[in-house]
Amino acid sequence: MWSFFHKLGSPPWLYSIAGTILRWLLPITLVVLVAGAVWGLLYTPPDFRQGNSYRIMYIHVPTAVVALAGYYVMAIAGAISLIWRMKMADVAMRAAAPIGAMLTFLALVTGAIWGKPTWGTWWEWDARITSMLVLFFLYLGVMVLYDAYDNKEAAGRACAVLSLVGTVNIPIIYKSVDWWYSLHQPASIKFTGESTIDSSMLYPLLLMIVAFYALYTCCLLMNMRTELLRREARTGWVRRLIVEEGKG
């Protein structure tokens, strides 16, 4: 185990293993993503109340779920960076922020598109919508804060602190529909008890959630590889890599 963590601290090893994972994971992710999208958007039955407008759920729900999980990834990386001064954790935190921001933005946009025919309005200062907007600003805050410092070590510490402080918003998002009056319906997928969504709609939704988790992993690994090349541009292993790719 300690040997594995030691390897994680090596930029060449991390760059190489990330590339190996991507070669296998990326094509599988694309297949699952297309299959889930076609199944959910084209072959599920219309909802008896919302008709076909509910189908945007197959984009909205996965983006929201993975945006929340991605924040924990960023915060955990920030904690590791603060406690153990592990530079690769700082790389992961930096790489995770723009992906999380994009997913949160997509969740907000698709939620607005779904809300218009369902609630009669594009936007409502609903507890869950507002807390998701806060999540979007937290992701943006990490990105902006990192670029605001010339000293990247200090930038990493500041971003890590902001990431950890922002974790208080995640349970608020999860429990907002229970704690306050909310236009959002309670969770339809339940791990304890029976889910309130029909299996014909549930299975493609679960497939899309899995696909978005895989897509997040691919994007995170690609961003980390890019960040590693940027940080290690003057090192020997990057120069050798450029020479080898030039020969190939």
- Nearest of 113, 79, 112 to residue 96 by alpha carbon: 79
Output the pLDDT for position 215. 98
Output the pLDDT for position 48. 82
- Determine contact, residues 216/99, Cβ cutoff 8 Å: yes
Output the pLDDT for position 45. 92
Helices and strands per DSSP (H, E), number in the chain: 9, 0
Output the pLDDT for position 177. 77
Output the pLDDT for position 248. 60
- Determine contact, residues 41/58, Cβ cutoff 8 Å: yes
Output the pLDDT for position 35. 98
Output the pLDDT for position 1. 52
pTM to 2 decimal places? 0.93
Question: Which of the residues in the chain have pLDDT under 70?
Answer: 1-7, 182, 185-195, 248
Using CA atoms, how far residue 167 sits from 6, 20, 69, 80, 160, in Å, is 27, 31, 11, 15, 11
Output the pLDDT for position 227. 95
Output the pLDDT for position 7. 65
